[in-house]
Structure 1
Amino acid sequence: MANSKPRILNNNRDMVWSLIPLVIACLLIAGIASQCTLSPGGPTQGPIPNFDVNAAMQYDASELDFPIRNPKVPDDWTPNSGSRGSIAGDQGGDTSTVGYISDAGRYNRLTQSNASEDVLVPFAVGEPRFASGTQSIDGKEWVVYTQQSEEPVWVTDLGDVRLLITGSGSSEEFTTLAAATTDATPLTP
C-alpha cells in the first residue's frame, strides 16, 4: 500500500510541485532543439529573402502572352518574392507577381496580368472590392480600391496588360512603384 496523502488533502502547492519538473523538461527539450529564444526588446527584423527579380521577370516575359515590365525601383528597395498564377474564366488570364520591401520596411506587391480588372482585383486580394476613386500618375489613370482596415489596391489598364499594386506600402511608395512600372519598357521574350 502506498504512503501518499488522501486525494482530498492535495492542494495547489502539490500541483505546482508536480508541474515544475514538466516545465523544466519542456524548456530543456526546446533549448536542445534550438527552438526557443529570449528577446527582451521584442521581435527584431529578420533577413529579407533573396529573390532574383531580373531573372524571374525575363522568364515570365518569355513564357506569358502579354508584355512584362521590370520596374526600376529605388536602390534601397529589396525584391523578396515572386510568383506566377492563372485565373480561370472568360475574362481570366495569367498573372506575374513580384513583391518588394521598401526602405521603410513595408511590403509592396506588383501584379501584371492579361485578365480583366473585374476578375484581377478579387483574385489578387481574395475578395470583391469596389472602386473608391482614381489616382493620376504620369498621365496614367489608376483606379483605387480602398476598404477600411484592408490594404489598398491600385489598378491601371495599359491595353494589353493590367497592372495591380497592393500591400502595406504608403501612397508615396505606391506612386513610386506605379511610375516606375509604367515608365519601364516591356521586356523582349
Structure 2
Amino acid sequence: MVTATRPAVAARGAVGQDCGMSSTAAPAAPSRPRGDRRPRDMVISLAVLLVPIGAFFLLWGFLTSDQPVNGVDPRPAYTEAEGLGLDAPAPEGLPDGWDPLSAQTTQGDGAVTLRVGYQTPSGGGMQYVAGDGLAEEILVAELRDGPRPTGAVTLDGREWMSYLTVDGNPALVYTDESMTLVVHGDASMAELEAFAKALG
C-alpha cells in the first residue's frame, strides 16, 4: 500500500506570515552618543574632587589666620642673665606686633648667653642673642659658617655690622669689650634695624 507523501513544510518565514506573526524584533530605543555625555561627566567628576579640596583649604585658612600667639615673658631670662654677670640690654618702646615666643639663659664654658625669639609685626621670625663669650664662637653658633658682610650701619649710637647668611637671611652684629649682640632671622632688615634701635 502506497502512503501519500505530505507536502514539504513551508519555510519558517512563510509560516509566520501565514499565521499573522512577524519575525522582525521591535526597534531598540535610540541611545545618546557617548560623546554628548563626556564633557558633562568630566565636569561632575572635577566638581566632586575640587569641592572637598576647596573646603579643606578654607578650613585651614580659618584655623590658622586668627590663632593667638602663645607669647612668653622674657624678663625672667634677662634677670637670670644679669645674675650670672651678663647685663644684656632689653628692647624698649617696641610697637605692637613684636611678640616674644621664647626666652632662655644658658651658661657653659665660662660664658653666659641670652636668647629671645620674637615674631615680628610682619609675621617673620627673629632671634635676639646676647653673650659674653668669644665673638667668633657666637657668630658661628648663630650664623653658621660663611655669613657675608654687607656693610656697617649706625643705629642709636651703636655701630652694627650687617651680614647675609648662607640661608639668605639678614643679620646684625654688635661687639664691644663686654658682650656680643646678634639680631637675625627671616624678618626684613628694616625690622631687624628697628629692633636694634630699641636696644638703646
Structure-2-length-normalised TM-score = 0.62
Which residue of structure 1 lines up, in the alignment, with residue 192 of structure 2? 174
Question: Could you tell me the percent identity over the aligned residues?
Answer: 22
Matched, 1:69 2:89: yes
User: How far has the Cα of 1:111 moved from its partner?
Assistant: 0.3
- Structure 1, unaligned runs of 5 or more: 1-36, 184-189
Aligned-partner Cα distance in 2 for 1:146–1:66: 27
Structure-1-length-normalised TM-score = 0.65
Q: Which of structures 1 and 2 has the larger relative contact order (alpha carbons within 8 angstroms, sep 6+)?
A: 1
- What's the C-alpha RMSD, in Å, of the aligned pairs? 2.4
Cα 1:94–1:55 change in 2 (3 A) is closer
Matched, 1:54 2:81: no
Which residue of structure 2 lines up, in the alignment, with residue 158 of structure 1? 176
| Bigger Rg over Cα | 2
Matched, 1:82 2:103: yes
User: How far has the Cα of 1:175 moved from its partner?
Assistant: 1.0
* 1:109 aligned residue (127, 132, 154): 127
Aligned-partner Cα distance in 1 for 2:60–2:188: 24
User: How far has the Cα of 1:124 moved from its partner?
Assistant: 0.9
The letter of the residue matching 1:143 is M
Aligned-partner Cα distance in 2 for 1:150–1:123: 17
8 Å CA contact 1:67, 1:160 repeated in 2: no
Deviations, residues 85-114 of structure 1 (Å, cap 9, x unaligned): 4565xxx82210101112211112110001
Cα 1:75–1:138 change in 2 (3 A) is same
The count of residues paired between Structure 1 and Structure 2 equals 142
Matched ranges for 1:11-160 at <5 A: 38-40=56-58, 42-43=60-61, 44-45=64-65, 46-62=67-83, 64-72=84-92, 73-86=94-107, 88=109, 93-147=111-165, 149-160=167-178
- Structure 2, unaligned runs of 5 or more: 1-54
